Chains A and B, each alone.
Chain A
């Protein structure tokens, strides 16, 4: 057991955990943050994506103890973030979700993309999503939603 101290969604947290606990299990089971979904637990589907110190991270592939002192952000932690707000609106308008299971990871991945590249081409969007599996939508709505969100955000940037 190890004492882990870190920030999750802005809150200071300190917990005793087993060393082998993945960040995803820590967030879901110890912190009750169930927006982080587990679709494969081997880093291939992207459903568990979170930000660790602002870097897009697969929480199933990281041990929680590796995040000592880190700042972890899950989908629950974006509050009034304008990028996430625009993405949520655009996902709704572009029918970018069906069952919703991949959606939380998609949103985090999309936000990471728009934070780095505000006006991505379709090819860049598709590349950015290449590690996120959606079994329902066939991706068209998701790609379109990210384009739509970028367009909505553009005037503010200008």
Chain B
């Protein structure tokens, strides 16, 4: 496990217990809702109760006029352009409070301020919203019909963008010996961080700036957006993200409520607070997934895949969220359809469609859970059609280690690894032969058993090349670290990424300890405050260990060299003859401690070598040598039992063989894998926000939005292999998203395997008992 050339001192690859745990265990963490400021008042939003309508006016309740704000109260507020910088991407101006039209149930229309949230809600209940209801657009495919109602009058249809992603030997597909057509659907869900969104803001008169406490994944980028929306210079806005209770992508967009709270803070003389409640979260926070696939897989008779063609519709909701909207969903869904396989042709029409639903944003795995679901189901369906083991069909088509680096038909460069080994390992962990004999020994009335596989790749650590290709409005091509040794030799490191559960205070300290020759306990990692940290993009897209890890590592290394040179001077030794060891600089004869060196550098400059700049502080940025990304990967294998009378699924065993390159902290990697899989199980079996024909969302509490709990999520068995990346510091790859990518596919394949005898097809998530029961009935020809 995990050993590599860098781990000689033991910090890289050590399952160090986390530095961030103590405050949480003591109940002394501080989330945005825990911020206490004198005179602080609460905000509640009055929200649209209809999906689509012309907004004629908003009446403020009598006596409360000064406590209620509508868009008309903010004449100077700017609407941010969002989405990729592509002419073909149509603009969907998203005001902080509704203006002209309402376009989804839950859209914020007015903000009400009162000393408590309860009283603010009382006022919100009295706000009268006068709307003429328009036909709701709720089906992303029907929305593309010329007769569909339009969300934006100026658009020729309801698509934000329509693109064809085609490459390779497309004509081969037409006459392919095997053509198998299937439709897949991954339904809409929410990101559901357990801490909801939240924002506290006030004008700090002494510093002449707006102070914003924000539950976000990236305070610097949010400040950029806030500055543009509010028309303030960035040096008059300070964003503090204190403890952040999960994000998963949903806190990586600037939402209108947050802009409205800041705009109100500029108008009143006291701090204001908005803490999203769970209903608001499910109703109007970032929604995700919601992909429709209509695909044909083309293959040779022996199962060799030729290509994939068809349509992908992304139900992107009513607006593009700042900065980048949901445009990556379609291109990533199509681009990841070839998965880890040798695919010779790809021809996919993608439609990113506006509907009267809450706007779509990123969620752990971004598009890849849908793409993985589609390709991995197609592979299983092809295997069933050809009468071969799905495992064998995968082996036939998986890219081999010898073919690496392998550029997929969609242009993704799969860099390093052994996909066959991952699949073989996962298959051994679940023992296919044993499952097959259990299946054939099943007696009537017993539950069905099935085994399912899914292989995935996880692009991580991608920089300028990849994000520029995507025409991203913000190009997160680097991260920065400021490494500072204080006069006593202790170290503070400020980074621009945002820890919200990933354990950066521990892993980044391990990296710095490795470079500086210190113990991680002597190194403090600070983040989440635009006033103290260097500019950074935040934590998302499985990027932090690659980018921030690299920035901390390379900058610490440079600082270590300066420490070494000062140490040599203090020892009156030849710099070539000294080295760093455990908080000291050592020459043959003697040693000098970091505290002596840091004292000289910071407060006793006369002791420094001639011409040496004082202080021990360096700021550096880092981008990997190649910025197309490094690919983690893995194979998931799951065994389920299915009650055919009820459609209820139980997970009997879940095994993963994964490779995320060098692991800085294997304990934290395991936590990411297990936690990602729990979310993937949620997507696969439980979580869904359905809408009725009028665009009313039907899951707005945890009573109807089903979350996976301890009784549904098994402890996963994890096998690691370690193929270091070639272009990153220490050979790391990202690991945050991978766990969530494969479970919907693996689970659906397992359920389908349980019904192999009747060839039932399970092509829609979540696999609720009813969907399973109906698919089984349909396959048996006994559909109701």
Interface residues of A (CB under 8 A from B): 18, 20-21, 25, 28-29, 32, 34-35, 37-42, 44-45, 47, 74-76, 88, 91-93, 95, 97-104, 107, 125-127, 129-144
Contacts and interface: CB of A to CB of B under 8 A. Distances in A.
Contact of B671 (A34, A76, A95, A135): A95
Nearest to A93: B17
Contacts of B701: 40, 42, 44
A75 B711 contact: no
Contacts of B668: 95
A142 B710 contact: yes
B715 interface: yes
A99 B246 contact: yes
Contact of A95 (B18, B23, B36): B18
B610 to A, nearest CB: 49
Interface of B: 17-18, 20-31, 33-34, 36, 116, 118, 192-196, 243-246, 248, 275, 277-278, 500-503, 667-668, 670-671, 674-679, 701-703, 707, 709-711, 713, 715-716, 739
Contacts of A37: 31, 33, 194-195, 245
Given A99-B195, A144-B715, A133 B707 contact: yes
Given A88-B25, A95-B668, A138-B716, A47 B194 contact: yes
A29 B116 contact: yes
B424 to A, nearest CB: 24
A133 B194 contact: yes
30 contacts: A34-B27, A39-B196, A39-B278, A40-B278, A40-B702, A44-B702, A45-B194, A45-B278, A75-B27, A95-B668, A95-B670, A97-B25, A98-B501, A98-B671, A99-B193, A100-B20, A100-B29, A100-B501, A101-B195, A103-B24, A103-B25, A125-B710, A129-B711, A131-B709, A133-B707, A136-B194, A137-B674, A138-B678, A141-B674, A143-B710
Contacts of A99: 193-195, 243-246, 500-501
Nearest to B282: A40
Identify whether the interface residues of B are mostly helix, strand, loop, or mixed: loop
A88 B27 CA distance: 11
A45 B710 contact: no
A132 B712 CA distance: 12
Sort A-B residue pairs by CB-CB distance and give the 8 closest, nearest first: A35-B27, A101-B245, A100-B24, A138-B678, A99-B501, A98-B501, A44-B702, A75-B27
B194 A101 contact: yes
Given A42-B701, A42-B702, A102-B194, 17 more contacts: A37-B245, A38-B33, A39-B194, A40-B278, A44-B707, A45-B278, A95-B670, A98-B675, A99-B244, A100-B243, A101-B246, A107-B25, A133-B709, A135-B678, A136-B671, A137-B675, A142-B710
Nearest to B277: A41
A29 B36 CA distance: 9
B191 to A, nearest CB: 9
Contacts of A74: 27
Nearest to A76: B27
Contacts of A25: 118
B213 to A, nearest CB: 13
Contacts of B20: 100
B703 A44 contact: yes
A138 B651 CA distance: 14
A24 to B, nearest CB: 11
Given A97-B21, A135-B246, A140-B715, A34 B192 contact: no
A102 B192 CA distance: 13
Contacts of A143: 710, 715
A58 to B, nearest CB: 12
B503 A126 contact: no
Given A34-B34, A38-B33, A18 B278 contact: no
Contact of A135 (B23, B243, B679): B679
A133 B116 contact: no
Contacts of B31: 34, 37, 101
A95 B24 contact: no
Contacts of B196: 39
Contacts of B716: 138, 140
Contacts of A136: 194, 246, 501, 671, 675
B54 to A, nearest CB: 33
B249 to A, nearest CB: 12
Contacts of A34: 27, 30-31, 33-34
Contacts of A100: 20-21, 23-24, 29, 243, 245, 501
A141 B678 CA distance: 12
Nearest to A91: B25
* Interface hub of A25, A125, A137 (most chain B Cβ within 10 A): A137
B667 A95 contact: yes
Contact of B710 (A35, A75, A101, A130): A130
A104 B27 contact: yes
Given A42-B278, A126-B711, A139-B710, A32 B36 contact: yes
Contacts of A137: 671, 674-675, 678
B118 A20 contact: yes
B187 to A, nearest CB: 19
A74 B609 CA distance: 57
Contacts of A18: 116, 118
Contact of B677 (A28, A75, A97, A138): A138
A25 B500 CA distance: 24
B672 to A, nearest CB: 8
A30 to B, nearest CB: 10
Contacts of A132: 709-710
B521 to A, nearest CB: 14
Contacts of A39: 194-196, 278
Nearest to B119: A18
B520 to A, nearest CB: 15
Contacts of B676: 138
A63 to B, nearest CB: 12
A140 B29 contact: no
A92 B193 contact: no
A39 B246 CA distance: 12
Contacts of A131: 709
Contacts of B25: 88, 91-92, 97, 103, 107
Given A91-B21, A133-B707, A138 B702 contact: no
* Interface hub of B25, B30, B36, B701 (most chain A Cβ within 10 A): B25
Contacts of B715: 139-140, 143-144
A25 B23 CA distance: 21
Contacts of B34: 28, 34
A31 to B, nearest CB: 12
B25 to A, nearest CB: 4
B558 to A, nearest CB: 31
Contacts of B674: 137-138, 140-141
Nearest to B118: A20
Contacts of B702: 40, 42, 44-45, 133
B194 A139 contact: no
A120 to B, nearest CB: 12
